[in-house]
């Protein structure tokens, strides 16, 4: 997943910072870094790992976490 992919996903899902962070199970600061494409504290690029890409795909497909975990 690239930064452009993440931004496009965010737009398609219609998320805000808060709703996107909650959907991915991360804090608002982490989600802000994902949207910016770099860490705001150090300026280093964000790595969109496989788990993030899979979580985004699952959410877009309407899948829920296994075992009822939210």
User: How do residues 21-69 score in pLDDT, each as one tens digit?
Assistant: 999 999 999 999 999 999 999 999 999 999 999 999 999 999 988 886 6
DSSP code for 41: T
Q: What pLDDT sits at residue 70?
A: 65
CA–CA distances in Å: residue 17 to residues 24, 32, 45: 11, 7, 19
Give the start-to-end residue ranges of the domains of the chain: 3-68
Q: How crowded is residue 6: how many other Cβ atoms within 10 Å of its Cβ? A: 19
Q: Three-class SS of residue 45? A: strand
Model pTM? 0.89
Three-state DSSP class for residue 34? helix
- Residues pairing with 45 in the sheet: 38
CB atoms < 10 A from the CB of 30, how many?
Answer: 14
């Amino acid at each position: 997943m690239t930064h452009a992919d993440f931004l496009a996903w965010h737009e398609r899902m219609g998320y805000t910072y808060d709703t996107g962070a909650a959907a991915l199970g991360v804090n608002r600061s982490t989600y802000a870094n994902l949207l910016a494409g770099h860490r705001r504290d150090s300026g280093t690029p964000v790595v969109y790992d496989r788990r993030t890409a899979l979580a985004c795909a699952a959410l877009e497909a309407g899948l829920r976490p296994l075992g009822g975990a939210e």
